[in-house]
């Protein structure tokens, strides 16, 4: 076939370099045979060009295809070695070959026994596959692999992460979050992160059956990929959301623990706040420890996990994390979120707040914020009704019940206190069905001012 500016449909588009090995003809002393610079990059064969890393990328490319005899592969460097050809999955007497010519120099890509592409650069043979976990229409040049060296991938899980672009991206995101916490946390707190992450990797490897060799069955491989993707994506997001906050010399940072149970299989992941940097931290940490029951396992709570071994064939989870609404010299206001699967129809979501008065070294409630003689509850309820009416109207949903709204408004656990405004949080099921999700109503302190106590902790302006 004559060379043309457009690659054939079977060759055109995005491929990922998912495998690399020293070429059979390479000398053990060859430095090229121990480095794999193209591994985990994506390559796009497009009209008139090849997009990707050097040295394969080029402008003004022309394309052709044909077949190569076994003794022509790799410019004849296999030297008729059937063993070497078998190791490279190129066992046919002739092999379909796509040729790219850039600046007068040809580069061949062979279609191997698995319908992947094989090419070489210096003393390294590379394998390319159509990408999984990557939308070819959103291709961007650059590295697309995980945070670890795929040349050293041994287990099925490691190999799967290297072969799947979405898993690779999640692994990079996870590593970025882990590295950021290592750089910003105190050694004592980061040690809990390190131990929890080590335990999490061991649990996921076992739970996803990813510790051995790659399964031959396609269904088993797909199940492993799905399991890894669910765990890695969730964990990457949780660690990405875990941040260190500072208020003067005080530091509020995430600590972590990971606990598991074999029967029924249960994962309990806990990301909880911890303060350091001064005497004020002691009372706050004692409050957190008692309120979050850090001396216990949530998966041992029979009210939360009532089914025992009756759900032994399911994977259960008790996941907890938190977010910071405010941390300054006056107030610590956190929202603690739980995501639990205990064997029901779907995950159970829960939120509650932890609000701490720094000056008085104690937790505070609505009674500490609002003047009792003022009709603050009716005012806030009316404010929320108007805000929620507008939000529900956009969704075509009926207005929520007033009594339900007032019940939420009157519970301290549903309030978080920011620097300039308070937020009333309406959890799932509080005022709508599960499909209605959650709702937040933000109320500026300037609006609440007539109803606040003179000594309310939140009335003091937040300091940077």
CATH topology of domain 368-459: Actin; Chain A, domain 4 (3.90.640)
The segment(s) of the chain belonging to CATH 1.20.1270 are: 145-242
The segment(s) of the chain belonging to CATH 3.30.565.40 are: 251-346+354-363
The segment(s) of the chain belonging to CATH 3.90.640.20 are: 368-459
Specify the pLDDT at position 337.
96
pTM of the full predicted structure? 0.86
Q: Which CATH number fits domain 145-242: 1.10.287, 1.20.1270, 1.10.10, 3.30.870?
A: 1.20.1270
Q: Which CATH number fits domain 251-346+354-363: 3.30.565.40, 3.10.520.10, 3.10.310.10, 3.40.190.10?
A: 3.30.565.40
Per-residue pLDDT of the chain (464 residues; tens, 9 = 90+): 578 999 999 999 999 999 999 999 988 777 766 689 999 999 999 999 999 999 999 999 999 999 999 999 999 998 778 899 999 999 988 999 999 999 899 999 999 999 999 999 999 999 999 999 988 888 887 899 999 999 999 999 999 999 999 999 999 999 999 999 999 999 999 999 999 999 999 999 999 999 999 999 999 999 999 999 999 999 999 999 999 999 999 999 999 999 999 988 999 999 999 999 999 999 999 999 999 999 999 999 998 888 776 776 789 999 999 999 999 999 999 999 999 998 877 788 899 999 999 999 999 999 999 999 999 999 999 999 988 887 777 766 667 788 989 999 999 999 999 999 999 998 866 665 544 457 899 999 999 999 999 999 997 554 33
What's the CA gap between 364 and 3, in Å, rounded? 76
Sign of the dihedral through C-alpha 222, 232, 164, 89: negative
Specify the pLDDT at position 437.
59
What's the CA gap between 285 and 278, in Å, rounded? 12
| Helix axes of 156-163 and 165-184: crossing angle, nearest 10 degrees | 100
| Helix axes of 187-207 and 165-184: crossing angle, nearest 10 degrees | 160
Q: Which of 295, 312, 305 is nearest to 257 (CA)?
A: 295
């Amino acid at each position: 076939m004559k060379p043309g500016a457009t690659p054939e449909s079977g060759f055109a588009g995005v491929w990922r370099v998912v495998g690399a090995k020293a070429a059979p003809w390479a000398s053990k002393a060859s430095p090229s045979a121990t480095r794999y610079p193209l591994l985990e990059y994506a390559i796009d064969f497009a009209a008139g060009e090849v997009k990707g890393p050097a040295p394969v990328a080029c402008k003004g490319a022309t394309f052709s295809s044909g077949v190569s005899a076994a003794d022509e592969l790799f410019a004849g460097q296999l030297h008729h070695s059937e063993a070497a050809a078998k190791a490279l999955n190129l066992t046919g007497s002739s092999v379909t070959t796509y040729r790219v010519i850039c600046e007068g120099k040809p580069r061949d890509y062979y279609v191997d026994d698995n319908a992947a592409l094989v090419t070489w650069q210096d003393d390294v043979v590379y394998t390319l596959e159509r990408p999984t976990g990557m939308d070819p229409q959103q291709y961007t040049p650059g590295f697309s692999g995980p945070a670890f060296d795929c040349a050293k991938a041994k287990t099925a899980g490691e190999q799967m992460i290297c072969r799947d672009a979405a898993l690779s991206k999640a692994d990079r995101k996870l590593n970025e979050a882990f590295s950021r916490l290592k750089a910003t946390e105190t050694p004592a707190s980061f040690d809990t992160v390190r131990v929890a992450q080590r335990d999490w990797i061991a649990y996921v490897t076992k739970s996803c059956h990813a510790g051995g060799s790659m399964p031959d069955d396609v269904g088993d491989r797909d199940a492993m990929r799905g399991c890894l993707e669910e765990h890695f994506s969730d964990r990457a997001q949780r660690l990405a959301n875990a941040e260190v906050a500072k208020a003067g010399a005080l530091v509020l940072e995430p600590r972590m623990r990971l606990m598991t149970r074999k029967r029924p299989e249960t994962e309990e992941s806990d990301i909880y706040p911890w303060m350091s940097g001064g005497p004020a931290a002691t009372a706050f940490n004692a409050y957190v420890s008692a309120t979050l029951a850090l001396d216990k396992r949530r998966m041992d709570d029979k009210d939360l996990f009532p089914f025992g071994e009756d759900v032994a064939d399911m994977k259960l989870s008790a996941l907890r994390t938190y977010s910071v609404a405010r941390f300054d010299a006056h107030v610590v206001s956190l929202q603690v979120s739980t995501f639990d699967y205990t064997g029901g129809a779907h995950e159970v979501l829960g939120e509650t707040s932890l609000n701490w008065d720094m000056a008085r070294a104690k937790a505070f409630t609505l009674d500490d914020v609002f003047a009792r003689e003022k009709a603050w509850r009716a005012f806030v309820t009316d404010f929320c009704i108007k805000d929620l009416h507008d939000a529900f109207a956009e969704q075509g949903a009926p207005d929520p019940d007033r009594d339900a709204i007032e019940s939420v408004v009157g519970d301290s656990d549903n309030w978080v206190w920011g620097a300039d405004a308070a937020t009333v949080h309406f959890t799932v099921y509080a005022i709508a069905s599960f499909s209605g999700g959650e709702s937040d109503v933000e109320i500026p302190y300037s609006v609440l001012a007539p109803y606040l106590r003179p000594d309310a902790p939140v009335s003091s302006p937040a300091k940077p």
